[in-house]
């Protein structure tokens, strides 16, 4: 499997034989790939081809590059309206963050539920009719995954629409759950060693 940030380059021999000397052609190709990889070019295949064969007339030149579409999201900071539809958007962003942290699919699925519980609580209870927003921040610090869910409303832990299951599920997945509630708002901080995320 291609890891995030890597690129697979496929090409026809016309690309390296244009210079008559195949070795020189390959050297030119490697240099072009390095240069294009460093530049985050939007069309890497075209850039590689033009750097390698330049404006020389050539036939049989085809370049194909394959790379995972998502750049690794090593730090997450996303604020969305406190509305039900935001749940899925937060999960999509968190998924990128968890992938970048090196978590497996199975671990990501379970962890999404823990963060989802806190996010849903903010969406549903932090605000009155005037609405508001929810901010989710994620980072990895000395091997620990830290996700913070903040709102500027009041924490209403007692009003658990999960029928009492919400906090149980959250704490069953993440051992270190800190809830900091003030007049200014509520922050739920989930801390979990990357290597010890349960599946």
Partner 1 sequence: VTNQAEFITKQVDGINVVSVFGEVDIANVDEFRTCLEKAADDRAPGLVVDLTRTAYFDSRTIALLADFATKLRVHRQRIALVAPADGFAARILQIAGLPLIVPAFQSVIDAINSVREPAGT
The residue (of 22 and 196) whose beta carbon lies closer to partner 1 is 196
Q: Which of 6, 104, 168, 175 binds partner 1 (CB under 8 A)?
A: 168
The residue (of 3 and 199) whose beta carbon lies closer to partner 1 is 199
Contact flag: residue 173 with partner 1 (CB under 8 A): yes
The SS3 call for residue 96 is helix
> Degrees (nearest 5) of the Cα angle 194, 198, 199?
120
| Closest C-alpha among 150, 146, 138 to residue 181 | 150
Q: Which of 66, 104, 156, 165 binds partner 1 (CB under 8 A)?
A: 165
Instruction: Quote the CA–CA distance of 124 and 119 in Å, as a whole number.
Output: 9
Segment 50 to 89, residues that bind partner 1, using CB under 8 A: 84-85, 87-88
What separation in angstroms does the CA of 29 have from each of 7, 23, 104, 115? 14, 10, 35, 45
Judged by the rule CB under 8 A, the positions of this chain that interact with partner 1 are: 84-85, 87-88, 91, 106, 109-110, 112-113, 116-117, 120, 123-124, 160-166, 168-169, 172-173, 198-199
């Amino acid at each position: 499997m291609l890891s995030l940030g890597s690129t697979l380059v496929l090409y026809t021999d016309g690309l390296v034989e244009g210079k008559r000397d195949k070795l020189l052609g390959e050297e030119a190709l490697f240099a072009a790939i390095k240069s294009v990889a460093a530049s985050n070019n939007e069309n890497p295949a075209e850039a590689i081809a033009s750097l390698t064969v330049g404006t020389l007339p050539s036939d049989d030149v085809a370049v194909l590059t394959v790379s995972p579409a998502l750049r690794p999201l090593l730090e997450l900071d996303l604020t969305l309206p406190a509305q039900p539809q935001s749940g899925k958007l937060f999960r999509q962003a968190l998924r990128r963050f968890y992938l970048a942290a090196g978590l497996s699919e199975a671990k990501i699925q379970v962890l999404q539920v823990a963060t989802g519980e806190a996010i849903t609580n903010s969406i549903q209870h932090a605000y009155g009719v005037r609405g508001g927003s929810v901010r989710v921040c994620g980072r990895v610090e000395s091997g620990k995954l830290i996700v913070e869910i903040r709102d500027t409303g009041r924490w209403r832990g007692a009003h658990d629409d999960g029928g009492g299951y919400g906090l149980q599920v959250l704490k069953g997945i993440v051992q270190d759950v800190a809830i900091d509630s003030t007049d200014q708002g509520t922050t739920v901080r989930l801390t979990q060693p990357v290597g010890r995320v349960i599946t």
